[in-house]
Chain A
Amino acid sequence: TQLLEQSPQFLSIQEGENLTVYCNSSSVFSSLQWYRQEPGEGPVLLVTVVTGGEVKKLKRLTFQFGDARKDSSLHITAAQPGDTGLYLCAGAWTDKLIFGTGTRLQVFP
């Protein structure tokens, strides 16, 4: 069974702080995706990383895929209240997505 563990599980920070969320697995994935989910809504895709070692930037968000394609990180610079939400990593396994355990982020003004 493929498992994706995210850490931390919860994160509560002040506006302007930086943070990093980690997504780890013992399995190799062909690609890894990061989503953000608001309460009562479906997840929204932020980025897909495919190549080991790949780094992608999306404004204040920086995503990295591990060299062995087993782990990933999401770094947010100068967090804002609008960044509040549930962040989910998901590994592509054949035609399925295996979702991580999730990181709930709360950014206070």
Chain B
Amino acid sequence: GAVVSQHPSRVICKSGTSVKIECRSLDFQATTMFWYRQFPKQSLMLMATSNEGSKATYEQGVEKDKFLINHASLTLSTLTVTSAHPEDSSFYICSALGLAGGEQFFGPGTRLTVL
């Protein structure tokens, strides 16, 4: 089956620092990847759609200068949380769409804690 990995699985950082989260499709190519955020006891909220070789499309209310997304290859998208603050603490999940479209394959998530 299609496997998506995320790295790191957990990260703790100080307020004001930047954190990069990687999302990789391990056994398939993905022109489109999605980034979601999930606060405790809540559902997944789509943050942005990442397309290989082009700028990401952000959902309403998501600051593009704070959440930098790069999708430089067909197997890797990165999310950088810049100048992180405690309110950015959340579970960040990516998903990848194969070249043929259809099902999104989800990564295992990254738990970010900002102190």
- Can you list, as one digit per residue, whether each of B45-64 has a CB less than 8 Å from chain A (1) or not (0)? 11001000000000010000
A98 near B46 (CB under 8 angstroms)?
A: yes
Distance between Cα atoms of A50 and B67 in the complex (Å): 33
Number of chain B residues close to chain A: CB under 8 A: 24
Distance between Cα atoms of A102 and B41 in the complex (Å): 9
Instruction: Give the contacts of A93-109 with B (CB-CB under 8 A).
Output: 95-102, 104
Distance between Cα atoms of A85 and B46 in the complex (Å): 21
Distance between Cα atoms of A98 and B46 in the complex (Å): 7
Distance between Cα atoms of A44 and B93 in the complex (Å): 12
Number of chain A residues close to chain B: CB under 8 A: 18
Which candidate, A12-20, A35-43, A59-67, is the interface stretch facing chain B? Answer: A35-43
A78 near B: Cβ within 8 Å? no
Beta-carbon nearest neighbor of B59 in chain A:
A96
B85 near A: Cβ within 8 Å? no
B45 partner residues in chain A, CB cutoff 8 A: 99
Q: Which residues in B have some Cβ–Cβ distance to A below 8 Å? A: 4, 32, 34, 36, 41-46, 49, 60, 91, 93, 95, 97, 101, 103-104, 106-109, 111
